[in-house]
Amino acid sequence: MAKRRPLPLEFWDFLMSNKKWWLLPLVLAMLALAGLVFLAGTPAAPFVYTLF
């Protein structure tokens, strides 16, 4: 049985082998947006809203 690799490493290998570098900023922006949505539901919400 092959050893399983973490998802970020699989994604990095996909970008390297298929030359899809334009996907990296898109994924990073989506992760940042997901982080803001997550923080909006926590007690840190007033601090997040001051950013905008």
Q: Give residue-wise pLDDT tens across range 11-45.
A: 889 888 998 888 889 999 999 999 888 877 878 77
User: Using CA atoms, how far apart are residues 35 and 37, in angstroms rounded to an integer?
Assistant: 5
Q: What is the distance between the alpha carbons of residues 44 and 50, in angstroms, rounded to a whole number?
A: 11
Mapped onto helix, strand or coil, the DSSP state of residue 1 is coil
Neighbours of 28 (CB within 10 A): 10
Cα separation values, 43 from 13, 25, 48, Å: 37, 29, 10
The model's confidence at residue 50, banded by pLDDT at 50, 70 and 90, is: confident
Residues with Cβ within 8 Å of 49's Cβ and at least 6 positions away in sequence, in order, are 40
